[in-house]
Structure 1
Amino acid sequence: MRAQSSVHPDESAGNSPAERFEAAKQRQAESQTEFGAFKETFDFGLDDFQVTACRSLEAGRGVLVAAPTGAGKTIVGEFAVYLALSRGLKAFYTTPIKALSNQKYSELAAKYGAADVGLLTGDSSINPEASIVVMTTEVLRNMLYAGSDSLDDLAFVVMDEVHYLADRFRGAVWEEVIIHLPTDVQVVSLSATVSNAEEFGAWLDTVRGSTDIIVSEHRPIPLWQHVMVGKDIVDLFAGDTSFDQLAVADRDAVPAVNTELLELARTESENRSRGRFAHGRGGRSGGGKQWHGRKGQAAGRGDAPQSPARTASRSQVVLALERANLLPAIYFIFSRAGCDAAVRQCVDAGIMLTTEAERQEIAALIDAASEDIPSDDLDVLGFWSWREGLLRGIASHHAGMLPTFKEVVESLFARGLVRAVFATETLALGVNMPARSVVLEKLEKFNGEAHVNITAGEYTQLTGRAGRRGIDVEGHAVVLWQPGTDPGAVAGLASRRTYPLNSSFRPTYNMSINLIAQFGRARAREILESSFAQFQADRSVVGLARQVRSREESLAGYRESMTCHLGDFAEYARLRRELSDAENAASKQHSRARRDAVDESLAGLRPGDVLEITAGRMPGFAVVLSNDPNLHEPKPTVLTDARETRRINRHDLDGPAVPINKLRIPKQFNLRQAKDRKDLVAALRHAVQTAEPAAAQPPAFSSSRQVEQEAKISALRRALRGHPCHGCSDREAHARWSERWWRLRRETDALVQQIQSRTGTIAKTFDRVCGVLESYGFLTPAPGGEGRELKPTADGQRLRRIYGEKDLLIALCLREGALDQLEAAEMAAFASALVYQSKREERGLRVKMPSAALDASMDVLVRQWSMLEDLESQSRLPLTSEPEFGLVWPIHKWARGRHLERVLEGTDLAAGDFVRWAKQVIDLLDQLASVPGLAPGVRSACVEAIERIRRGVVAYSSLAE
């Protein structure tokens, strides 16, 4: 391994005649090389790091290129493509997502011709035997395990966005590919700037052979950092220079923050503490210099930023950017609904960023892209509001959009016709859409479990879009001032442009059985021990041991501080912790039991039932008009005594819904007729007055488990009160020290456990995985094998062809015959339960199935999952996630030919979300159809299900995530 400077010797040749002559000779010699010919295909000069990396490739070495977003890393990948074509060999270009694969395929096909370039993604195959094939990384992994003939003559593999191997869900795929590629294949690894490139390069050198590390921290377009206070854009850092230009010896040093912003934060804090700031009194009306841009334009009105209490609206931000000549811009909002709302707000504000000629060009492109969409689908897809925003040069971009719509936005943005895009963070990890400026509305996001601050790496990835190479001389990152903004924290994020690359690799069931089938157990263990995860684990033990020694010293001090003269305070503190944990567990269980009871009561309501709405925004009495008991969260439609029609859910009730009376709704009742509504409300009020008073009884949510919990809590409370330390006058002071001791003790024990488990940790996990597979009969001892050699059984061979998070669960269902009796629509619904991931509050909810056959199959699925989870828990393995049923009814209706509006009715699914999940269902069905040894009819049902799903919006949506 050689870490290389990004400056090549002959790039810095002197000016003497002899030196100029020598440099000219070198240039002439280079022009005769493959790299020299490749350089001639560009009408601009290459940067030093690109030259260095290309020369390493030509010399036969692998390369790791780590450089900022937009620096031009893909030039090195394109040189690998050029070398393969010029030598009559193959190159594979891999990307993390389908959208990037599509984009790269289009670029390479335009440059080298469609005959020489192919595309392979989960649901698209174009010219797969071409010399150059663009594919998702998973496709290449599957080819390696299958021993595909397409690997013949493969000379180069480009792994774009290789830092994805840190992704906890999909990252292992990158390591699998790097480990399993034939040794004579040169690997081109392209990464964002990471702080441990040398460590990652050292691992690549170990597993792949000679690998050069080329690191460039230079952004070709300087990035200026700002904070938008009110309607004014203020520089984040002091001085008149971008952070990129600061000579910072320590990469973690933070340059000086603009003192005006620090003063603003201090004043806001003081005013808030006095309770006056929220009313706009008693403090400065502003502060901080107004930013005039690099060319002198005023970024906002007035002589100073507005009060930070008045955060600029989204439309005001767009107008401020337009005045400052900072459009086009990408405005990141970590919410799909927020992105769509932002477009509506700008449209309502009358913002128009396009000319009449541009609007005509936009309309023509929209019409061409949507001509295949049935007209009755357009309203469901929100087409008209989407079109109105585009005509004004404004759009949203997120995973909930129809893929076709996203591609139109990307195309118009690339042409400069869309000038403001409101996007979620998926855009930063996806297609190439650079802008002049990037806006971050907030510096926190919801990660699926909680609201967390974004990391320095995420900030870098998001703001890296700012500055278009060859168009802009500088890029601009703007953070919106929110109440409580800390300029120092923003500066810390903005000044740390690197982040560590940590492996997420772990052996899966599919990976393990494929390795054993190809190499045997002993060799598979050796291969897994060569992973980057194990490489990092072995290096980290020394640092962990140092941390443990330091923490043990602190623990001794804490123990002394919590000493009580009345008794053993550590024992007393343990009782307090147990009581607190038991009370929290009981509270959560009670809340869930209450929710389930309310949902069950709502599902049981029938038309004509009269009930009282006891909570929510509009309490009162109502009569049920309709109810669909098949929804995962029941939402009956009711008519209230205020003559309003609405849908109610669990949040509108304090307890289970109990009808207090019953009405007969006339058959001719028409909700749209005011007279019908008036008559029914009159009948409702009469029914309320004549209802028999119900005996007051508290809702019963208790179970035997809850009774046990209550008994445990009572016993703990008695033990706590009876402990000698309970009467100590310094009890709470001791308790604070005990909490610190306990928190540090847990952290220290975790570190000790890490140290004990680090050596051979990947191989140990592999052994546990093998144990599970052997207990299920997917692996069996190999005849004549030495020691513990294993081989796959027939069931194991089926597992080899199933990829995904629930690989073993799927194989178990196949073995149990769960799919044998399903027709096409039922097969699609069954597959949806294996790929769909619901929102957190919907998880674990079981719904009534569309058919008895599907209900029986789902019983098998749930039973197999439950047993597998128990075995995984005993084996200390990560648990297979629970099947999710939220997509069962929508995908079943779709496969039965229902209209999109009916399919989405009663769900929270956006059309784009439905398309995305439908494509994943197709991917799984396609896998199942190719599994060997299926029962008769299963394969044909899978194929038919694919055909039924691939229609309408799913068929005419081109590829996306």
Structure 2
Amino acid sequence: MTALDRFTSLLSFTLDPFQVAACEALEQGRGVLVCAPTGAGKTIVGEFAVHLALEAGTKCFYTTPIKALSNQKHAELAARYGRARVGLLTGDVSLNSSAPVVVMTTEVLRNMLYADSPALAGLSHVVMDEVHYLADRFRGAVWEEVILHLPIDVRLVSLSATVSNAEEFGAWISEVRGDTTVIVDEQRPVPLWQHMLVGRRLFDLFDVKAVRANADAGRTAPPTVLDESLVRHVKQREALDRSVDPGDPRGRGGRGGRGRPPQPRRPIPRPEVIALLDGEGLLPAITFVFSRAGCDAALAQCLRSPVTLTEPEQVEQIGEIIDRHVAEFALGDLELLGYHEWREALERGFAAHHAGMLPAFRHAVEELFVKGLVRAVFATETLALGINMPARTVVLERLVKFNGETHTELTPGEYTQLTGRAGRRGIDIEGHAVVLWQTGMRPQEVAGLAGARTFPLISSFVPGYNMSVNLLDRLGREGAQRLLEASFAQFQADRSVVGAAKRIQRSERELAGLRTQIEDAADGTDYLGYTALRERIRARERELRRDHLHDRAHAAGDALADVRRGDVLAITGGRRRGLGVVVEPATDHRDPKPFVVTEHAWAGRVGPADFVGEVQVLGTMRVPKGADIRSGRGKRDLASSLRNTGIVAPRERPKAARPAADDGVLADLRAQLREHPAHRAERTPGLDRLAERYARLQRETAAQTATVRATTNSLAVTFRRIIALLTERGYLEAVPGVDGGAPDLAPTEAGHRLGRLYSESDLLLCECIDAGDLDDLDAPALAAVVSALVFESRGERGGSILTGERVPHTVRTAIGALAGRWAAIRDAEVVHKLAASREPDVGFVGPMYQWASGGTLAATLLAAGERGQLLSAGDFVRWCRQVIDLLDQIHQVCRESDPELSATARTAVGLVRRGIVALDA
């Protein structure tokens, strides 16, 4: 009997062909990359790796991208193999870490590899769940570091959502880790039906006949034929919106009538959506809202409605599960956290799920949903990251989300990841995805998302300070360079330039042919040299024009930064030529754009591009203090006043200065051109055209070559710049080469400390430790200062100055030192052309000091919130745990070099880890 036979005998279901193929490859000693849709059962391959390790008496590490997934997988494996054989490591939680099977976040494994942890001894398998996370721009590099650093004899099990370049990713893994089998399965175990809810009518997105024809033919690609009734109904709704004002009870037209402009159509209220889905038999459902406030608002709407989704006997079961999850919490804390409303919603079958919730509340929601006791969950997209909460239906309220910087449209990959939650294997025969229509949403857009099959996995790997120090320490400069060259980022870069390199080769062949033709036609005259001289003249003219435009824009910018309210300007460029009066001076002197109203009643901001020549202030006029510059009438009134001032705009448009008139280099080149023999020689017809073609192709080839060089060397260039900065600041030093070879670089004592600090602010923290900036702090103060290195304000509390916070002088002094050292690092990064380090954020300093000093939960949450609102409990616990993690790193790193600071950090950990922070692990 094979190991796979023994494993499957423990299961209550039969494996799918892709699962069998992956497990067989693993049993034969090969690594595997499995790409399959959400809910297809990829993790069973990871569980087989656990089985193999336990049978062989070796170790298996199971890594996940988020702590919630680690906790869930630990519970599953502990239930199967017993808690004595399964451990958990998530940075702030350590359970049975010496067990043969340990579930951990990927960062923990990366840190173990850099530290050469003894726990790596006997490791035979590593499972990397959700490995497509290496595309994450903030944390993705960690996955590549692990893949590159793992001992070569460790079998890697990579589990990924469906990506279109799985073969490329698998080829890279095979190159760096040896024999790897790539298994791609695009067939969902439960078919997914796509719908749109328009008003109170639920439509199929695709034509049902086309869908069934596809299925009957065994095709996995989705159909592209839209449902005609949906398209027709949406057109009717949009036409109605354009013709009738829904706010006018007499139905007057929105165009010519006096009614209000037509208001956009929004989906029906959320409780009605849930009731409609319930009536269609489409619950349980997860509604993705993309904002925490939206999730909470949805829950509040449901509580205000009469909708209830549970039966009396279920309410009792729900209560028992809730009581178990909150048993250790103080009643006062629960009341503060909105416990009673949360419980009432659960007892009626509703819940929210987002990172702002207390983890214990989230875990209760997850358990109740899996058991079918909660039937409608409003969630942010974090729920789509592998947490085992499948539903019959997934609802998308919008196709736009906030990515942390701006609002962006969902990508096809994100749409597939979210809707992949629909359809519970073994329970549902089909899943359903419902998009709520609103004005401006086109069915074709939704079809494009649902039908796309291009989800490429793009590396986000880039070296950082901690990584660079560790690479040099482990591998030396050459070895580090080779490892960077072995990264997936470099692999993709090299592949991406293959096409460009081939185009360059073709261009060079064509250039050689043109060169021969030109030489033959020139009849012994150095016409190629003459052509090169003309190109140098053109390049110099372009350079001078660029410099002139830059200088002109800079001068115009300086002038615009100085204009005042009431100044009348001559706008001499663009479509707004004429007079303009300044209503609001420029506020950003880096990009000065005052707000003006022109004599033609146009209002808006003007910048350097709107002026030819110098910015002219022709005079001034009085602008009334309460001038209405937003309404049409207000702009017309101001424009009329401007025209009546008697100030007249210049009649002629100013001429731009000629930038090349007195340039000595250009004059010398032109003289050389006139004296060149080819300038006076007779030329055969077409020779100039050949020369022009040759010059143009030469420019294009040079540009392509530069692009290829920049692409293939980008990682190496960044690494060299980091090395230069770290050497300059005393973290690296020259050491003799091995066996008398060339000198190498190695970390100094400070560099070794930097190599053990894993944080976005690793270099800043290390500099503060080495300079003694943290030495005078007691434990609460240290926790408060450290919070500035991890906290990220969601609102307006960020910045670099503490205002109104009750913190001691030592904290303010340390924060000041922190800000100064960050500015110095930033200056060095500018010199070395490196991306900016994360700026400290003091938004949590005061609340953290209050909590670590023994403050109450209520007072701390209020101090940490904004505009009188409490900070969410989930955020509070998360930030506290990140502070604990960094404090623990300081404790470990400073044990020998600064025992007093190490002891203070250890004390601070205990002060922060109390109350809900300690309970909700």
Q: CA deviation at 1:117?
A: 1.1
How many Å separate the matches in 2 of 1:763 and 1:383?
53
Equivalent residue number for residue 719 of structure 1: 613
Equivalent residue number for residue 206 of structure 1: 175
Aligned letter for 1:464? G
1:877 aligns to 2:834 (yes or no): yes
Q: Is the CA contact 1:435–1:466 (under 8 Å) kept in the aligned structure 2?
A: yes
1:834 aligns to 2:789 (yes or no): yes
TM-score by length of 2: 0.77
Q: Pick from 789, 805, 816: which aligns with 2:760? A: 805
Aligned letter for 2:732? L
Q: CA deviation at 1:847?
A: 1.2
Equivalent residue number for residue 264 of structure 1: 233
Q: CA deviation at 1:177?
A: 0.5
Q: SS state of the match for residue 884, structure 2?
A: helix
Q: Pick from 52, 58, 70: which aligns with 2:39? A: 70
Q: CA deviation at 1:934?
A: 3.7
TM alignment of 1:362-441, pairs within 5 A: 362-441=318-397
Q: CA deviation at 1:269?
A: 3.8
Aligned letter for 2:898? A
Equivalent residue number for residue 660 of structure 2: none
Of residues 377-386 and 60-69 in structure 1, the stretch that sits farther from structure 2 once superposed is 377-386
1:941 aligns to 2:907 (yes or no): no
TM alignment of 1:65-214, pairs within 5 A: 65-214=34-183
Q: CA deviation at 1:905?
A: 1.7
- The change in CA–CA distance for 1:878 and 1:43 in structure 2 (over 3 A counts) is same
Residue identity over aligned pairs, in percent, reads: 50
Q: Is the CA contact 1:395–1:421 (under 8 Å) kept in the aligned structure 2?
A: yes
Aligned letter for 2:912? I
How many Å separate the matches in 2 of 1:90 and 1:484?
55
Q: CA deviation at 1:926?
A: 0.7
Larger radius of gyration: 2
How many Å separate the matches in 2 of 1:541 and 1:872?
28
Q: SS state of the match for residue 903, structure 1?
A: helix
Q: CA deviation at 1:56?
A: 0.5
How many Å separate the matches in 1 of 2:365 and 2:703?
48
Equivalent residue number for residue 44 of structure 1: 13
1:957 aligns to 2:920 (yes or no): yes
How many Å separate the matches in 2 of 1:72 and 1:875?
47
1:469 aligns to 2:425 (yes or no): yes
Equivalent residue number for residue 724 of structure 2: 771
Q: Is the CA contact 1:576–1:720 (under 8 Å) kept in the aligned structure 2?
A: no
Equivalent residue number for residue 892 of structure 2: 930
Q: CA deviation at 1:267?
A: 3.1
Q: Is the CA contact 2:736–2:742 (under 8 Å) kept in the aligned structure 1?
A: no
TM alignment of 1:438-457, pairs within 5 A: 438-457=394-413
1:758 aligns to 2:711 (yes or no): yes
Q: CA deviation at 1:77?
A: 0.6
How many Å separate the matches in 2 of 1:589 and 1:249?
70
Q: SS state of the match for residue 821, structure 1?
A: coil
TM alignment of 1:788-803, pairs within 5 A: 788-803=743-758
Aligned letter for 1:150? A
Aligned letter for 1:130? A
Aligned letter for 1:147? D
Q: Is the CA contact 2:190–2:428 (under 8 Å) kept in the aligned structure 1?
A: yes
Q: Deviations over 1:183-217 (max 9, x none)?
A: 11100000000000000000001000000100000
Aligned letter for 2:914? R
How many Å separate the matches in 1 of 2:615 and 2:501?
40
Equivalent residue number for residue 437 of structure 2: 481
- The change in CA–CA distance for 1:575 and 1:917 in structure 2 (over 3 A counts) is same
How many Å separate the matches in 2 of 1:417 and 1:765?
53
Q: SS state of the match for residue 126, structure 2?
A: strand
How many Å separate the matches in 2 of 1:819 and 1:345?
48
Q: Pick from 865, 877, 883: which aligns with 1:915? A: 877
C-alpha RMSD of matched pairs (Å): 3.7
Q: Deviations over 1:810-856 (max 9, x none)?
A: 11111111111100111111110000111365443521461111111
- The change in CA–CA distance for 1:548 and 1:404 in structure 2 (over 3 A counts) is farther
Equivalent residue number for residue 580 of structure 2: none
Q: CA deviation at 1:309?
A: 3.0
How many Å separate the matches in 2 of 1:576 and 1:489?
41
- The change in CA–CA distance for 1:355 and 1:840 in structure 2 (over 3 A counts) is closer
Equivalent residue number for residue 516 of structure 1: 472
Equivalent residue number for residue 844 of structure 2: 887
Q: Is the CA contact 2:211–2:222 (under 8 Å) kept in the aligned structure 1?
A: no
How many Å separate the matches in 2 of 1:748 and 1:99?
51
Q: Deviations over 1:235-271 (max 9, x none)?
A: 0001246589558999887611112222233334444
Q: CA deviation at 1:365?
A: 1.7
TM alignment of 1:648-663, pairs within 5 A: none
TM alignment of 1:726-765, pairs within 5 A: 726=653, 754-765=707-718
- The change in CA–CA distance for 1:804 and 1:812 in structure 2 (over 3 A counts) is same
Q: Deviations over 1:438-497 (max 9, x none)?
A: 000000011122211111111011000000001000000000011111100100101125
Q: Is the CA contact 2:779–2:908 (under 8 Å) kept in the aligned structure 1?
A: yes
Aligned letter for 2:787? S
Q: Deviations over 1:258-298 (max 9, x none)?
A: 122222333344444446467699899xxxxxxxxxxxxxx
TM alignment of 1:848-867, pairs within 5 A: 848=803, 850-867=807-824
Equivalent residue number for residue 340 of structure 1: 296
Q: Pick from 4, 17, 26: which aligns with 1:57? A: 26
Q: CA deviation at 1:705?
A: 8.0
Aligned letter for 1:951? R
Q: CA deviation at 1:781?
A: 0.1
Q: Is the CA contact 1:772–1:871 (under 8 Å) kept in the aligned structure 2?
A: yes
- The change in CA–CA distance for 1:500 and 1:483 in structure 2 (over 3 A counts) is same
Equivalent residue number for residue 515 of structure 2: none
Aligned letter for 2:104? M
- The change in CA–CA distance for 1:542 and 1:891 in structure 2 (over 3 A counts) is same
TM-score by length of 1: 0.74
- The change in CA–CA distance for 1:463 and 1:248 in structure 2 (over 3 A counts) is farther
- The change in CA–CA distance for 1:330 and 1:867 in structure 2 (over 3 A counts) is same
Of residues 113-122 and 700-709 in structure 1, the stretch that sits farther from structure 2 once superposed is 700-709
Q: Deviations over 1:753-808 (max 9, x none)?
A: 64331123212211111111101000000135643510111100111110021111
How many Å separate the matches in 1 of 2:914 and 2:770?
31
Q: Pick from 777, 780, 787: which aligns with 2:733? A: 780
Q: Is the CA contact 1:220–1:469 (under 8 Å) kept in the aligned structure 2?
A: yes
Q: Is the CA contact 1:575–1:720 (under 8 Å) kept in the aligned structure 2?
A: no
How many Å separate the matches in 2 of 1:880 and 1:260?
54
Q: Is the CA contact 1:268–1:308 (under 8 Å) kept in the aligned structure 2?
A: no
How many Å separate the matches in 2 of 1:194 and 1:471?
26
Unaligned stretches of 5+ residues in structure 1: 1-31, 285-306, 551-566, 592-697, 729-746
Aligned letter for 2:387? V
Q: Is the CA contact 1:165–1:503 (under 8 Å) kept in the aligned structure 2?
A: yes
Q: Is the CA contact 2:198–2:267 (under 8 Å) kept in the aligned structure 1?
A: yes
Q: Is the CA contact 2:592–2:607 (under 8 Å) kept in the aligned structure 1?
A: no
Of residues 833-842 and 199-208 in structure 1, the stretch that sits farther from structure 2 once superposed is 833-842
TM alignment of 1:348-363, pairs within 5 A: 348-363=304-319
- The change in CA–CA distance for 1:457 and 1:702 in structure 2 (over 3 A counts) is closer
Aligned letter for 1:449? E
Unaligned stretches of 5+ residues in structure 2: 254-262, 507-540, 566-582, 596-605, 617-649, 656-699
Aligned letter for 1:876? K
Q: Is the CA contact 1:436–1:468 (under 8 Å) kept in the aligned structure 2?
A: yes
